[in-house]
Chains A and B, each alone.
Chain A
Amino acid sequence: MMTEPVLRVENLIVRFPGRRGSSITVIDGVSFDIKAGETLSLVGESGSGKTTIGRAILGLAPVTAGSITFRGEAISNIPRARRRKVARGIQVVFQDPYSSLNPAMTVEDILVEPLAAAGVSGGRTRVRELLDAVALPADTGGRYPREFSGGQRQRIAIARALALNPSVIICDEPTSSLDVTTQARVLTLFQEIQRETGVAYLFISHDLGVVNEVSNRIAVLYQGRIVEIGDAHGVATNPQHPYTRKLQMAAPVADPKKQRIRRARRLEAAALEDALASQQRTAEAN
């Protein structure tokens, strides 16, 4: 059985203008698709372009070439008014729960905003439902974002993303700035929401472990290219590409004994890599 992908990115290229007329290629030919109800993760380190891909899909970064289709309709480089009609089903949860909520607005105003933009009536009851969906008390609505902790703010941001019943949510490092116990709770919330609503996630993270926990498939990004993509468990535990292996080895685990073994292996691998590199240099010199 083949399910039609809800979001498809083909050969995406994003370039930003650089110094003196030159241009910097941030995303260099990335292709992937997301099926309904699935979680695909983009994992990579800073500068890998993972956030830019998310922003390009959201229409917040320019698409230089390639195509992004949502439910069969092209959504890259379309006018904002048209985008409002076709791409309403793609929503976002950003990394920083502090600057993603307007400090001058109450939680209720924040949650009503998407409904008002879409011309949906009956906003107040929907706000109650949304707060309930992210396990926040019903009296949250009248309060301001600054009265909440990071984890609670992230719940508010998730509620906002859910307001328009999206079919894809782009989660851009949604738990990176949270404490580890809070992160665990927020990840559980993401999973529950997916079970209940069947929403698909594009989960962007630098943490292979977090990604392994939440995704069906993982794509590993390195310098604007996907170097490895496949089933989550396979990529996380049996990586094929050397870069993924390096990422996998580098994350420390909270167990001193296991970590000692991992560390020894990592150092071994690094030494090997160094030896290879110096061999190559001597070969080039000759």
Chain B
Amino acid sequence: MTGTPGLDLVVDLPAPEAQPPAARRSVLRRLLTNPQGACCLAFLLLVVFMGLASPWLAPVGPNVTNLAAVNAPPFSPHHLLGADASGRDILSRLMWGTRETLLACVIVLLVSVLLGVTSGLIAGYYRGKFEASASWVSDVLMSLPGIVLLIALYARTGPNIVAAMAVFGLLIAPVYFRLVRSTVVGVRNELYVDAAKVVGLSDFRIVGRHVLSAVRGPVIIQSSFVLAAGIAIEAGVDFLGLGNPAQPSWGSVLQQSFNNIYNNGASVVWPALLISLTILALVLLGSVLRDLLQSSAHSRTLSSRRRRELSRQSRQDALPATKARPASSQDVVLSIRGLRIGYPDGTGGVREVVRGADLDVRRGEIHGLVGESGSGKSQIAFSTLGILPKEALILGGSILLDGKDLLASPKLMQEARGRRIAYVPQEPMSNLDPSFTIGAQLTYGLRAVKEMTKQEAEKKLLGLLARVGINDPERVFRLYPHQISGGMAQRVLICGAVAADPDVIVADEPTTALDVTVQAEVLELLRELDDERELAMILVTHNLGVVADICDYVSVMKDGLILERGDVDSLFESPAQAYTQELLSSSRRVELTEV
């Protein structure tokens, strides 16, 4: 665990922000070190260069005919890729044609980015009427059949690749519009945009500084796919014979070769190959860019071999420890011994966030696990339920439920979870599925762990809902999560947790998201249930007031270690550790001790 003393530095584990600065490299550099990205980029640059340099590099001009070489096969002298029906060099025509294709692509990109991004920015930032009408226009454009429209256009303008591609750009602009609009709608609600308004930045500068930077990545990724589509459409239009016959392009070379396929079959291969490879390179490049710009998780995984190695090591460590230290007393239900949990640190190593924790919970006892963010308290809670994030590694120790080690086999954990050990989460709302009624999800949850009919389950749950303080259980049973308050949602989850008659309840900051008056009621409920049902409860919290209110026993955690433990009265009266004293004085400073 890295920690700088003196600074209030906390490493919040599950948060993605805790990235080491080393991971921050320029996107271009990362693109070049990615083999797939580097290959695609090199290929595309080569194509562009060959096209632009064709006046100097191409063997002959695009329309130079050599009647002696009519339908020359590939690899014949002077004609590397052969020649077409008029004796024109195919390599030269493809190189010259690249210019036409490039021009077409640039037009498509310019028109669509200009229209789509601008309208998307305005619609997303200001919303209102403009957004409504722009969305309508975008929907109409998306419903138009592109190629049919281009053929119709040809009827009016004749072979005019600039006009055709500009129209295609217009047709594809809604792709950018939708992308940019939805990104901007997300960004404009960020507090840093509000902060920029407060310090007096004009809208124009806010968009330039804060909004554009968020839009840039998605637009770059999308552009690579749009370019690929542009090449395909340009080739398609030319292939249908709607291009300018005086100017070669990839599509027209393909079309002429195709018309001549019985005389010179091989000539079709080259334009087809060039078009396919270029499109492939663009699409692959887009995928690589997407990975680079939009995800950061892949750098923090370990190879599966290393994972296996580490967990095998931990098993070997765990066995003697378990034998050496049996659960200390009869009524201890859950006992954690020498638990160590780590996360990959991004450089192949492992960073330990829980460094050997011991914890005993007795029947009818509420055990407070208190600490600040990054202390590892939630990691312990998650590990007793087997719901650690999948990158997490159990490096050692055991979790004994009635003497059986849950970490030894996933099957034991599976059997215990929900049946013997239940969970009350921190965020009640996000732990209820918004698309099912309260009743449906409670019944489903109960029947997943207990053999009972739907009627039996419902009857039991309705009784329990009344017990947890919900006045009209039948009505609440039919409501959806968004129709109830946060406090009520937490009561519903507590009801779900006790429904299967568990022995242990793990409550992870169960009142942190609630108002203080509701918190008092929910704590009261937890206390009553604990007394009634002789539960063993682990209550994870950062609030020492909550511990003083409800817990019998408390363990203080810091940096993955349990620093101090004891019954609540004596620990709060005479804390031994300096850290506990600091915690206590910090929270007593901001509380109303006058009764």
Contact = CB atoms under 8 A, between A and B. Distances in A.
Interface of A: 45-46, 58-60, 80-81, 83-84, 88, 90-92, 94, 96, 98-102, 104-105, 113-114, 117-118, 143-144, 146-152, 157, 160, 163-164, 179-185, 187, 206-210, 212-213, 236-237, 246-259, 261-263, 265-267
B548 A253 contact: yes
Contacts of B195: 92, 94, 100, 157, 160
A163 to B, nearest CB: 7
Nearest to A187: B590
Interface stretch (B101-109, B199-207, B438-446): B199-207
A63 to B, nearest CB: 15
A168 to B, nearest CB: 11
B7 A152 contact: yes
Contacts of A257: 569
Contacts of B486: 46
B543 interface: yes
Contacts, number: 193
Most chain A beta-carbon contacts within 10 A, residue among B190, B198, B547: B198
A163 B203 CA distance: 20
A258 B519 contact: no
Most chain B beta-carbon contacts within 10 A, residue among A90, A92, A113, A144: A113
B213 A104 contact: yes
Contacts of A143: 21
B24 A60 contact: no
A181 B196 contact: no
14 contacts: A45-B517, A59-B198, A83-B200, A91-B199, A98-B17, A101-B192, A113-B199, A113-B201, A114-B200, A149-B7, A149-B12, A183-B590, A209-B591, A259-B545
A46 B214 contact: no
A253 B545 contact: yes
Contacts of B199: 91, 113-114, 117-118, 160, 163-164
Contacts of A261: 595
A80 B199 CA distance: 11
Interface stretch (B140-148, B378-386, B579-587): B579-587
Nearest to A94: B191
A237 B592 contact: yes
Nearest to B569: A256
Most chain B beta-carbon contacts within 10 A, residue among A59, A117, A144, A157: A117
A181 B370 CA distance: 13
The prevalent SS among residues of A at the interface is helix
Contacts of B213: 102, 104
Contact of B202 (A80, A152, A212, A246): A80
A252 B583 contact: no
Nearest to A181: B586
Contacts of A84: 200, 202
Contacts of B515: 45-46, 206
Given A46-B515, A206-B516, 20 more contacts: A60-B198, A91-B198, A113-B196, A113-B199, A113-B201, A114-B199, A117-B202, A149-B10, A149-B11, A151-B8, A151-B10, A152-B9, A183-B590, A209-B591, A236-B592, A251-B545, A252-B546, A254-B547, A259-B549, A263-B549
A148 B11 CA distance: 9
Contact of B192 (A83, A99, A258): A99
A267 to B, nearest CB: 8
A80 B201 CA distance: 9
A80 B203 contact: yes
Contacts of A248: 592
A101 B199 CA distance: 13
